[in-house]
Structure 1
Amino acid sequence: MTASQKQQLKQLKKTTSQNSRLGAAVRRQMISSMSETVTGLSTALIQYNQAVKKQMAGIGSNLISTVDSSQDVLGNLKKVKQLNNQSLDTAIQGNRLVATTSGKLENQLLAYKNDIVAISNKLKLTSDDNIADIITVLQSNPDLMGSALAQPFTVKNEDIYKVNSFGAAFAPTYIALSIWVGCTMLVAVLKTKVPKLAKFRGLSVREEYLGKLLTFGTLSLVQTLVILLSAVLILRIHVASFFLLLMVGLLSSMTFTIIVYTMAALFGNLGKAFIVMLMAVQLAGSGAMYPVQLNPLLFRIFQPLFPFAYSVGGFREAIGGANMGTVVIDFFVLICMSLIMLTVGLSTKKPLKKYTDRLLDDFKKTGMG
C-alpha cells in the first residue's frame, strides 16, 4: 500500500467520523482506490507466480540436492577417517615389527661379534705374499685344485644298522612267514577236536578249546625254536640281540597259534582257507617284502591290523639293532591281538559248535574230506 493510499484512508476515516453518511464523490473515490488496490495485488500475485515462485522452487531443489551431497560427503569423510585409523594402526604395528626385528638382529650381530673379530684378526695375518704363494701352488699342481673344487668335503659313511648281507636284511620276513606256515600246517595235519573216547566225554567246550590250544602252542614253540636256531647257527645271519630274537619269536609263535587255531576251531575248513588267504594278504600288505608306502591304498589302511607287520618289525629290531620304543609297541600290539582272539574263541566256541559240526558233517558227506 502506497503512502497516498494510506493518506486517502485516513481522510476517509476522518470524513466518516464527521458525517454519518458518505457523499457520492467519496464513495467513488473509495471504489477507485479499492480497484487500484485489487489491481495492484493481482499484478503482484501474477508476478509472484511467474517469476518468484519458479525461482523459489529452483532454490528449494538446489538446497535439497546440496543437503544430499553434503550427506554423501560426510559419509565419505567417515570412511576416509576409518581408513586413516586403519592405516595408522598398520603403521604402528609395522614400526613395532621393525623395532622387534632390529632388536633381534642386533642381538644376533652381538652374538657373532667375537667370531667376526676373530676372523678379521686371522685375515690380517694373511699378506699379499701368502696369497701369491697359494696361487703359485695351485698353478703348479692343477690336480690339487681340481680335486678341491670337485670334492670340497670328505664324506664318511657310517652304517646305523649293521646288517652285512641281503639275506640278513630279509631274514625277519622269512622267519615270520615260516612261523605262520608252521602253525597253518599244524591245523591242517592235526585235528582241532579231542578224540571221541570215554575219558574225554566229560570235557566242556572251553576245556576242549584251551587243551587243544596248549597242544598246538607247544608244537608251534618247538617249530619256532628250530627256525630261529637254524637261521643263527646254520645260515649264520647277523643278529644284534639273540635274546630279543628269542622273545620276539616266542611271542610271534603264541600270537600266530592263537589266531590260526581259533579260526580253524570255530569255522573248520572254511577257517583254514581263510588262514591261507590271510597269509598271502599279509605277506604283500604288511611291509614285509617292501615298504608299505608303496602298497595300494587298501593295504595301507589294513596294514596296522596285520600281526605280520609287528612280528617282522620285532625281528628287524633284534637283527639290525634294537630301538626300544618300536620294540615296546610291537610287543604290546601282539599281546593285545592274542588276548582279543583268545576272548573271541572262549566266548563263541560253544554257540558256534553245532553249526561247525554240521558244516563238517556235510563236508564229509560230499566225499571230499
Structure 2
Amino acid sequence: MSTLLSNTIQVIETAETSAEATLSDFTKLSAQVTKTLEQINGNFDAKILPAIQTALSIVKKEADHAGAILQSAISDFPAVDKVLVDAAKGLKVAVNEAEIVRSHLPEAESKLTNVTNRIAEFEKEASLQDLINLLTIDFAKESEFFAEPVKLVENVLYPIPNYGSAMSPFFTTLSLWVGGILLVSLLTVQVHGLQEGMKSYHVYFGRYLTFLTIALLQSLVVTVGDLLLLKAYAADPIKFVLFGLFISAVFMLMIYTFVSVFGNVGKAMAVVLLVLQLAGSGGTFPIQVTPPFFQAIYPYLPFTYAISLMREAVGGSVQDIVIRDFTILLIYVAITLILGVGLKGFVNRITAKSVEKAKSGHLIH
C-alpha cells in the first residue's frame, strides 16, 4: 500500500514538472506571438497600408484607362462598320475584275504561244549566241568610245593665260575709238580767225595735230594701264604699246575727218560705225556665228584689223598677219586723207550757210 502511494506521488510530481515545462513553453510562444503582432501592427501604418493604397490607386488608374479605351472603341464602331462595308464593296469589284482578267487569259495565252513560236523560228534562222553577245555589251564603254572615238592631243600655240588678257585687244581697241569720239565732242575741229592765204588742208592738218597729240596720250594711258594696272598678259608688251599708238592715230584721223568734213553729221557717222563694229568685228566671239549682215561687212571694218593687230602683240606675232593688218589700216589712212584733203573745202563751203542757220537756232553748237 505504501509502495502504491509512493508511486502515485511520484507520478503526480512528474506530471507537475511536465505541466510546468509546457506552461513555460506556452508562455514563451505567447510572448513571441505578441511581439510578432506588435511588429505587424507597427508596420501596417508605415508600410503595408501605403502599399495597399498605392496598389489600389494603380488599379483604379488602369481601370479608368481601360474604360477610356473601351469608350473609344465603342465610338469607333460606326467607322469600323463603314470600313467593313467598303471592304465588301471592294471585294465585289475585285471579283468582277478577276472575271474580266480570266476572260482575257485565252487571248494572252495565244499571244504568248505566238511569241514562243517566233523565238523558236529565230533560233532556227539565226544564232542565239549573237543576240546574247549583243545584249551583254558594256554600253558604258561603247558610249565612251562613240563620244570620243579619237583622243585628241592638244598642242597650244600662242597661249594666253587668262580670259581677261584674251579680251584686252577688243576692249583696248574699243576704248581708243570711244576716246576719239569724246575728243571731237569736247574740242572743236574748226579754226577761227583764219589768216589770208591759209588753205583748207592747212586747217585740216594743223587741227589734226592737236587731236593726234591727245589721242596718242590716251593710247599710252590705255595700253600701259592694261599692262601695269590690270596686269594683262602680252607676249610682246613693247609691240602692244606701239600698235596701240598706231591704231589710235588711225582712228583719230578717221573720226576727226568725219567731223571736220561733215560737222555734226560726222559725229553721228562715227557713232554708227562704232555700233556696227561692236557686233561685226569678231572681237567678242567668232564672226562665223554672227548674222549674215555682220559677216558681210566684217572684212571692211577698221576694228577687224585693229583687233587682229593687237592680238598679235598679246598672243605672239605672225609676221604675215602683222603686215596685212598694217597695210589695210594704212589703206584706211589713205582713203581718209583723200576724203579730208579733197572734200573738206568743197563740203564746208556748201554746208556753211546751213550750219550757220542751225547754230543760230541754238539747237547745235
- TMscore range, shorter length: 0.5 to 0.7
CA distance in 2, matches of 1:153, 1:338: 48
Task: State the AA in 1 paired with 2:337.
Answer: L
The answer on whether the counterparts of 1:251 and 1:334 sit within 8 Å (CA) in structure 2 is no
Equivalent residues in 2 for 1:57-206 (5 A)?
156-196=153-193, 200-206=195-201
Whole-angstrom distance in 1 between the partners of 2:162 and 2:329: 28
Give 2:292's aligned residue.
297
> Could you give the per-residue CA deviations for residues 210-267 of structure 1, whole angstroms, max 9, x where no partner exists?
1011111111011001100000000001100122212321221111011101100111
Matched, 1:309 2:304: yes
Q: Partner residue of 1:258? A: 253
- 1:46-65 superposed matches below 5 A: none
Aligned AA for 2:168?
A
Measured in 2, the distance between the counterparts of 1:160 and 1:196 equals: 57
- The 2-side partners of 1:304 and 1:194 are apart by 36
The one-letter amino acid of 1:186's match is: L
Distance 1:233 1:359 in 2: 48
Does residue 321 of the first structure (1) align with residue 316 of the second (2)? Answer: yes
TM-score when normalising by structure 1: 0.56
Question: Which runs of 5 or more structure 2 residues have no equivalent in the other structure?
Answer: 1-140
Asked whether the 8 Å contact 2:234–2:314 carries over to 1, the reply is yes
Deviates more, 1:275-284 or 1:296-305: 296-305
Corresponding residue SS for 1:287: coil
Contact kept, 8 Å, 1:239 with 1:319, in 2: the verdict is yes
RMSD value over aligned CA atoms? 2.1
Displacement, 1:164? 1.1
Aligned partner letter, 2:181: T
Which residue type is aligned with residue 164 of structure 1? P
Matched position secondary structure for 1:368: coil
Q: Is the contact between residue 224 and residue 241 of structure 2 (CA under 8 Å) also seen in structure 1? A: no
> Residue deviations 1:148-171, cap 9 Å, x none?
x98999865442122111110110
- Partners in 2 of 1:274 and 1:266 — Cα distance? 11
Residues 2-45 of structure 1: CA distance to partner in whole angstroms, max 9, x if unpaired? xxxxxxxxxxxxxxxxxxxxxxxxxxxxxxxxxxxxxxxxxxxx
Does the residue aligned with 1:348 lie in a helix, a strand or coil? Answer: helix
Structure 1's consecutive aligned runs of 4 or more residues displaced over 3 angstroms after TM superposition are 149-158
Aligned identity (percent) is: 33
Distance across 2 between alignment mates of 1:300 and 1:154? 33
Scaled by the length of structure 2, what TM-score is found?
A: 0.57
Alignment check: 8 A CA contact 1:254 1:338 kept? no
Residue range with higher mean Cα deviation, 159-168 or 324-333: 159-168
Distance (Å, rounded) in 2 between the aligned partners of 1:331 and 1:221: 17
Counterpart secondary structure, 2:347: helix
Q: Does the alignment pair 1:344 with 2:339? A: yes
Partner residue, 1:96:
none
- Taking the aligned partners of 2:352 and 2:301, their CA distance within structure 1 comes to 29
Counterpart code for 1:249: G
Deviation at 1:360, TM superposition (A): 2.1
C-alpha displacement at 1:318, in angstroms? 0.6
Q: Aligned with 2:250: secondary structure?
A: helix
Give the superposition deviation at 1:296: 1.7
- In structure 1, runs of 5+ residues without a counterpart are 1-145
Q: Deviations over 1:286-344 (max 9, x none)?
A: 11121111122221121111100000001111101111111110011001110111111
Greater C-alpha radius of gyration? 2
